[in-house]
Chain A
Amino acid sequence: MTASPILDAYRLETEPKWHQTDDEIAMFSAAYGARLPVMLKGPTGCGKTRFVEHMAWRLKRPLVTVSCHEDMTASDLVGRYLLGPEGTHWQDGPLTLAVRHGAICYLDEIVEARQDTTVIIHALTDDRRILPLEKKGELIRAHPDFQLVISYNPGYQSVLKDLKESTKQRFCALDFDYPAAQVEAEIVASEAAIAQASAETLVRIAQKSRNLRGQGLSEGSSTRMLIHAGRLMAGGLSVGEACKLAMITPMTDDPEIRAALSAAVDACV
């Protein structure tokens, strides 16, 4: 069954590059084949979003991405009545759009959303695969192509912000982490178009910063940060300057931690 043209804007034209580190592509494909919802776990900037994009491209499905935030309500996901010249009319939200027309819906950082928001996905993620639009009095049966993917950063979670057990248990989960040094260096080198040796230096610095995880930093530098630093280097900055601009200054304001990170950069160059 082909998806409706409404979602054409959500189709990916070019391939988002993905460097396979495990058999995550096969696993995701299997989950999609069974139309099971998937949860991607991992620290920020390790490639969760990129992976979903790649998979949507590979499976040739449109991808509707929603970045969740603290103030997000259920209406923001499913839709709401708007007031028009002829009275009210219903406007589908991004989730409803994906459910109705058959897309992969990716809810990024789902725990950021308010708890009542997460409950509406329950009926979608078990074998019912339905989305009740309470206010409209409509029950949508999910399009056969529809799949729900959420991401989740275990590092951020506090007692207040965690997924409900009933939510967690509906998902298959893939664990992501920063790739092994060699692989990460290859990724940085190809994404930022810099020499392998420079990429290796950047990765070494990142590993030092990850040593500080939980000891002054909540996260070490992500692969994304390394790519940014690499791009700056490709643009002519030195390693030290690029790291300062793309990694150290964004990550922390604590002068001691900054000094430690600068020392790590100095030591690795």
Chain B
Amino acid sequence: MIPKYAQPCLRLSMPVSETHIRPAATAGLADPLETRIAAAHARLVGAGYGVGVPRAYQQAAPKVAEHAGPDAALALAEAASRIAIRARPRVAAQFLDLSVPMARRLAAAESFGRWLGLLLGVLKPAPDALAPLLERMEMLHQRLGIGPLEAWVQTGLRLAGTDLALRQAYFTLELPEAVRLLERHAGEDTFHSLEGELRATHRALWGQSPPIREALPQAKGTAALRASFGAGVIQLPASYGGYRGRERLIFKAALAHIGAHMAHGGPRFQVGQLKPLQIAVISLIEDARVETLALREMPGLRRLWLPFHDVPPDGMATTPSLFGRLARALIDPDFPIRHGWVRKGVEMFRAGEGQIGSPALSRHIGNILGNDLGQTRVQFNARDYVVQPVYRDDNLGLWDLPPDPHEAQQHHHIDIETHDLRRSEETDSPQEHKTERADQSADMPPEKIVPAPAASGVGRIVGRLPEYDYLAGIERADWVTVKEYEPAPGDPLFWRKLEDRQGPLLARIRSLVRAAAMGRQKRLKRQAEGERLDLDAAIEASIQLRARSTPDHRVYEGVATPDRSIAVHLLLDTSHSTGDPVSLTGPSIIALLREATGVLAHAMTQLGDPLAITAFASDGRDDLRLVRVKQFHDDLGPLTGMALSGLRPGYSTRIGAAIRDAGARLATVPAHRRLVLILTDGEPSDIDIRDPDYLVADARRAVQSLNSSGIDVFCIALGQGAGQRHAEIFSKRGFVQIDRLEALPEKLPALYLRMTR
């Protein structure tokens, strides 16, 4: 018999051997619990793990039994024993100590069993990860719950692979990726999850689209606490910890506040002889000033901002408290003012109502108030000062500060580069790239947007894609990093040379296409509506009328010109193996690919079908290498020719990710039928994946998800034996295998025409 709690272990591919379980579970069903616990305890004593483990067990077992049932208490001994063997006895004791609060949290026997299964699942492949995991277990469980916790742990194991240091960093949460995944699994709102909404909201409210970025961690590695703006760029913290459930509101409030600064602020203040305290007060008044102006136009923003002003009107008159009170009093007319300094501030602010349009008002009031405060004995610690309330920005954008060597200046540059690339998704074709950038910076305040390096060796991160793990049964968000690479320089005369080489073929295809396009116009007889009367039908109808029977009313004829509406995204596999020659003396596979693609592109242009061509390869999950040979809006010009002829073989084949990317691109093209057409010479593979089924399952999942959104996926497998697993991925009707590769240029367009008829 396998007890209930052992089953999740099996699910996590960590079978609990029956011989181990049996003694505990069947020791004596009739015995009272105490006896059985005592027996388990005795076994732990006898096993020689030291005194700590049995003692911890003795304390934990009765309480665990109380919360999670007697079986759980007995399984505890078993699990502790295995942890002591594979990790260390100390970890086992730590586990036993933790089991009581966890049993209380998990309550049900079943979820406690899942938790045990989770730990044992970690124990086998990564015993070293157990200690850091146990240390943070309560926090992790509180944020995630048991299901997402399993997913997060599994993700960590897979992410680190055999890299011990990486694994430690993940489970100790030192790896930023680990924290990010944690937030994601916890379903919390982070900058990433809200980015699109925030961008659109800012655009709607203020009519501007400044770049909005996630703030990079500061030099010390601590995450940014407050939003920030400057040089036309808005930076928001990756997340606002400690405000669970309100993150979304904070992000919105923070962005609205910065919007107010940008709409109503003036040039940067000069620091001059000002003390840090004065700078802080002036900033505070300026915050209130721009908010007041924004509220005149958009009174509803008050509801967004006000809840974060939660400072009480009384209490110790410390600087943070006074600042909080002044800030609140300036936005909240109902806030009772009980401190002279705050009252003075509010009165000056009200008196200055006439000049509220000018930032000089803030400077004037802030100067005086700062002086006043400086003369009292109130302490101000500039180093630890954090602007309150939480939605306000760090005010650095208000001041013309001397460059601070400790500031992460270079980081800032990199930040803009890497993050800005995502913006270019919609715009770029290689030649437009630079002009686009120039335009952007023209209508924005001068910002140091550095054009991304265009060298072919350096990829530009353009996004992240999920990947499906069939073992865990989950789709891991943001798992594969998509990078775009500039095409290697190719032959500008590619098209002309193709015409020379393949002249007869192209001519044949042209007539084929013409026939295909012509044949589609059909005369439609006996229609209910149409351009003219269908003579035959009209005569018949007249006869029937005169015979006093009911005529058929369909007496017209028309011409059907159904719009040809199909868009195709062609994916070219340029992995290393495509460099192989087709036969001993023949050209390489990739040369044939280029040729065939050229011919097909020709045919499609004639048909007027929108076509995009992307070459893909991969170098681990961090580098899905895409070369955009042709985008939907590009013409078949010298540039596409160069890009196509510049394709070089290299790296591996992560096919699922490429399919997802192509699908996402295709989804925005208005067409009745959308097709992702893949040309590949082999099975999916990548350097960081050893399980041959993993990428196959992921690709199948990608195909299914595209199908469900109305995008067809079709694969052309090149070479003998290439299609072994393609039926699994694309289904039997979703792929065709071409053995004689030399015929590819000829076959591909014909195949396409047949497919899209």
Alpha-carbon distance A138/B551, docked complex (angstroms)? 29
CB of A267 within 8 A of CB of B531, answer no
CB of B304 within 8 A of CB of A215, answer no
Given contacts A83-B533, A83-B538, A83-B541, whether A211 and B206 have CB atoms under 8 Å apart is yes
Alpha-carbon distance A209/B204, docked complex (angstroms)? 6
Alpha-carbon distance A75/B556, docked complex (angstroms)? 12
CB of B532 within 8 A of CB of A85, answer no
Residue B9 at the A interface, CB < 8 A? no
Proximity bits, A236-269, B CB within 8 Å = 1, else 0: 0000000000000000000111011101111111
B interface, CB within 8 angstroms of A: 196-197, 199-201, 203-207, 209, 252, 256, 297-301, 303-304, 530-533, 538, 541-542, 545, 551, 555-556, 558
Alpha-carbon distance A236/B200, docked complex (angstroms)? 30
Alpha-carbon distance A11/B50, docked complex (angstroms)? 103
Min distance, Cβ B260 to any Cβ of chain A, angstroms: 11
- Could you pull out 18 A-B pairs where Cβ atoms are within 8 angstroms? A73-B558, A74-B531, A83-B555, A87-B542, A88-B533, A204-B298, A211-B204, A211-B205, A216-B200, A256-B197, A259-B197, A259-B201, A260-B197, A263-B205, A264-B201, A266-B303, A268-B297, A269-B300
Alpha-carbon distance A259/B206, docked complex (angstroms)? 15
Alpha-carbon distance A8/B196, docked complex (angstroms)? 54
CB of A260 within 8 A of CB of B551, answer no
Alpha-carbon distance A266/B256, docked complex (angstroms)? 12
Min distance, Cβ B548 to any Cβ of chain A, angstroms: 10
Residue A135 at the B interface, CB < 8 A? yes
Given contacts A73-B531, A80-B532, A83-B555, whether A260 and B300 have CB atoms under 8 Å apart is no
- The prevalent SS among residues of A at the interface is helix
The 9 closest A-B pairs by CB, nearest first: A260-B200, A267-B298, A260-B201, A256-B196, A211-B207, A256-B197, A267-B300, A259-B197, A264-B204
CB of A263 within 8 A of CB of B538, answer no
Min distance, Cβ B137 to any Cβ of chain A, angstroms: 35
Alpha-carbon distance A83/B200, docked complex (angstroms)? 57
Min distance, Cβ B368 to any Cβ of chain A, angstroms: 32
Which chain A residues in 39-96 approach chain B with CB under 8 Å?
73-75, 80-81, 83, 85, 87-88
Residue A208 at the B interface, CB < 8 A? yes
Min distance, Cβ A249 to any Cβ of chain B, angstroms: 16
Measured between beta carbons, the chain A residues less than 8 angstroms from B204 are 208-209, 211-212, 260-261, 263-264
Measured between beta carbons, the chain B residues less than 8 angstroms from A269 are 299-300
8 other contacts beyond A264-B205, A268-B297, with CB at 8 A cut-off? A80-B531, A83-B555, A208-B207, A211-B203, A215-B203, A256-B197, A263-B204, A264-B201
Measured between beta carbons, the chain A residues less than 8 angstroms from B203 are 211-212, 215-216, 260
Alpha-carbon distance A248/B487, docked complex (angstroms)? 42
Alpha-carbon distance A215/B199, docked complex (angstroms)? 10
Q: Which single residue of chain B is at the shortest CB-CB distance from A260?
A: B200
Alpha-carbon distance A211/B203, docked complex (angstroms)? 6
Alpha-carbon distance A268/B531, docked complex (angstroms)? 53
A interface, CB within 8 angstroms of B: 73-75, 80-81, 83, 85, 87-88, 135, 204, 208-209, 211-212, 215-216, 255-257, 259-261, 263-269
CB of B542 within 8 A of CB of A268, answer no
Measured between beta carbons, the chain A residues less than 8 angstroms from B545 are 83, 85
CB of A263 within 8 A of CB of B252, answer yes
Min distance, Cβ B74 to any Cβ of chain A, angstroms: 49
Alpha-carbon distance A88/B299, docked complex (angstroms)? 68
CB of B532 within 8 A of CB of A263, answer no
- The prevalent SS among residues of B at the interface is helix
Measured between beta carbons, the chain B residues less than 8 angstroms from A261 are 204
Given contacts A88-B533, A256-B200, whether A267 and B207 have CB atoms under 8 Å apart is no
Alpha-carbon distance A209/B530, docked complex (angstroms)? 42
CB of B300 within 8 A of CB of A268, answer yes
Alpha-carbon distance A266/B299, docked complex (angstroms)? 9
Alpha-carbon distance A263/B256, docked complex (angstroms)? 10
Measured between beta carbons, the chain A residues less than 8 angstroms from B541 are 83
Min distance, Cβ B540 to any Cβ of chain A, angstroms: 10
Alpha-carbon distance A257/B555, docked complex (angstroms)? 49
Alpha-carbon distance A80/B538, docked complex (angstroms)? 14
Min distance, Cβ A225 to any Cβ of chain B, angstroms: 15
Q: Which single residue of chain B is at the shortest CB-CB distance from A159?
A: B633
Measured between beta carbons, the chain B residues less than 8 angstroms from A74 are 531
Measured between beta carbons, the chain A residues less than 8 angstroms from B530 are 75
Most B C-beta atoms less than 10 A away, residue of A83, A265, A266, A269: A83
Min distance, Cβ B201 to any Cβ of chain A, angstroms: 4
Measured between beta carbons, the chain B residues less than 8 angstroms from A211 are 203-207
Q: Which single residue of chain A is at the shortest CB-CB distance from B531?
A: A75
Q: Which single residue of chain B is at the shortest CB-CB distance from A208?
A: B204
Measured between beta carbons, the chain B residues less than 8 angstroms from A87 are 542
Min distance, Cβ B177 to any Cβ of chain A, angstroms: 25
Given contacts A259-B200, A260-B197, whether A81 and B205 have CB atoms under 8 Å apart is no
CB of A204 within 8 A of CB of B297, answer yes
Min distance, Cβ A264 to any Cβ of chain B, angstroms: 4
CB of B532 within 8 A of CB of A81, answer yes
Min distance, Cβ B293 to any Cβ of chain A, angstroms: 13
CB of B201 within 8 A of CB of A83, answer no
Most A C-beta atoms less than 10 A away, residue of B200, B252, B297, B545: B200
Measured between beta carbons, the chain A residues less than 8 angstroms from B542 are 83, 87
Measured between beta carbons, the chain A residues less than 8 angstroms from B533 are 81, 83, 88
Alpha-carbon distance A211/B542, docked complex (angstroms)? 60
Alpha-carbon distance A186/B542, docked complex (angstroms)? 60
Min distance, Cβ A213 to any Cβ of chain B, angstroms: 10
Measured between beta carbons, the chain B residues less than 8 angstroms from A263 are 201, 204-205, 252
Measured between beta carbons, the chain B residues less than 8 angstroms from A81 are 532-533
Min distance, Cβ A211 to any Cβ of chain B, angstroms: 4
Q: Which single residue of chain A is at the shortest CB-CB distance from B303?
A: A266
Measured between beta carbons, the chain B residues less than 8 angstroms from A266 are 300, 303-304
Alpha-carbon distance A80/B204, docked complex (angstroms)? 50
Q: Which single residue of chain A is at the shortest CB-CB distance from B252?
A: A263
Q: Which of A135, A204, A267 contacts B532 (CB 8 A)?
A: A135
Q: Which single residue of chain B is at the shortest CB-CB distance from A76?
A: B529
Measured between beta carbons, the chain A residues less than 8 angstroms from B201 are 259-260, 263-264
Measured between beta carbons, the chain A residues less than 8 angstroms from B551 are 83
Measured between beta carbons, the chain B residues less than 8 angstroms from A256 are 196-197, 199-200
Alpha-carbon distance A81/B206, docked complex (angstroms)? 57
Given contacts A83-B538, A83-B541, A269-B299, whether A212 and B200 have CB atoms under 8 Å apart is yes
Q: Which single residue of chain A is at the shortest CB-CB distance from B255?
A: A263
Measured between beta carbons, the chain A residues less than 8 angstroms from B555 are 83
Alpha-carbon distance A260/B297, docked complex (angstroms)? 17
Measured between beta carbons, the chain A residues less than 8 angstroms from B200 are 212, 215-216, 256-257, 259-260
Alpha-carbon distance A83/B551, docked complex (angstroms)? 10
Min distance, Cβ A79 to any Cβ of chain B, angstroms: 12
CB of A215 within 8 A of CB of B531, answer no
Alpha-carbon distance A90/B649, docked complex (angstroms)? 68
Alpha-carbon distance A156/B555, docked complex (angstroms)? 36
Measured between beta carbons, the chain A residues less than 8 angstroms from B300 are 265-269
Measured between beta carbons, the chain A residues less than 8 angstroms from B299 are 268-269
CB of A268 within 8 A of CB of B197, answer no
Min distance, Cβ B243 to any Cβ of chain A, angstroms: 18
Alpha-carbon distance A85/B547, docked complex (angstroms)? 11
Min distance, Cβ A63 to any Cβ of chain B, angstroms: 25
Alpha-carbon distance A212/B204, docked complex (angstroms)? 6
Measured between beta carbons, the chain B residues less than 8 angstroms from A216 are 200, 203
Q: Which single residue of chain A is at the shortest CB-CB distance from B294?
A: A267
Min distance, Cβ B556 to any Cβ of chain A, angstroms: 8
Most B C-beta atoms less than 10 A away, residue of A74, A81, A259: A259
Alpha-carbon distance A260/B298, docked complex (angstroms)? 14
Given contacts A75-B531, A267-B298, A269-B299, whether A208 and B538 have CB atoms under 8 Å apart is no
Q: Which single residue of chain A is at the shortest CB-CB distance from B608?
A: A160
